[in-house]
C-alpha cells in the first residue's frame, strides 16, 4: 500500500505533466482561439478519437467499464479557494487551487457484462 507521501508525489508528477500540456494552450486562450485551457485539451484529445470524456463514476453509471490498463486523461477541475498566511506580513491571502480531474474516453470503455 502506498504511503500518503508516495501518493502525493505521484499527483505532483501528474500535475506537472498537465501543466506542460496546458502551457501552449494558455497562449491560444490569450489569443482567443479557446475560451479555456480545458477546451483546448479536449480538442487535442478529440484529435486522437477521445470524443466523449467522463469520470470513472459517470461511465459506471452508464453501464460501462474502463478497460484494464487504460490510463486516465487529465483536465483541470473547478478552482477551489483556500487561504494562505503570508509569513512576512501576517496577512491572509486568498488563492485559487485547480485540482486535476481524471477522465476516460469512449475509446477506453466497454459494455459491462451481466453477472
pLDDT for position 115: 36
| DSSP, res 106 | G
Residue 32 half-sphere exposure toward CB, CA atoms < 13 A: 0
Query: Grid coordinates 459494455 are at which residue?
Result: 111
pLDDT for position 67: 96
Strand order in the sheet with 53-54: 53-54, 100-105, 73-76
Give the C-alpha separation, 29 to 8, whole Å.
29
Give the C-alpha separation, 97 to 78, whole Å.
9
Say whether 76 sits in a helix, a strand or coil.
Answer: strand
Q: Are 50 and 106 in contact (CB under 8 A)?
A: yes
**Could you read off the pLDDT tens digit of each residue along the chain, which spans 115 residues?**
679 899 989 999 999 999 999 999 999 999 999 999 999 999 999 999 999 999 999 999 999 999 999 999 999 999 888 777 777 777 777 777 889 999 999 999 999 874 3
Classify residue 69 as left (phi > 0), alpha (psi -120 to 50) or beta: left
Beta bridge partners of 95: 82
Amino acid at each position: 500500500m502506498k504511503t500518503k507521501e508516495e501518493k502525493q508525489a505521484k499527483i505532483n508528477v501528474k500535475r506537472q505533466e498537465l501543466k506542460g500540456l496546458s502551457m501552449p494552450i494558455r497562449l491560444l486562450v490569450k489569443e482567443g482561439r479557446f475560451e479555456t485551457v480545458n477546451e483546448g485539451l479536449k480538442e487535442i484529445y478529440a484529435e486522437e478519437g477521445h470524443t466523449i470524456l467522463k469520470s470513472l463514476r459517470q461511465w459506471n453509471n452508464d453501464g460501462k467499464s474502463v478497460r484494464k490498463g487504460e490510463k486516465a486523461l487529465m483536465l483541470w477541475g473547478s478552482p477551489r479557494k483556500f487561504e494562505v498566511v503570508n509569513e512576512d506580513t501576517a496577512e491572509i491571502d486568498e488563492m485559487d487551487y485547480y485540482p486535476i480531474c481524471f477522465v476516460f474516453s469512449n475509446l477506453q470503455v466497454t459494455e459491462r457484462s451481466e453477472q
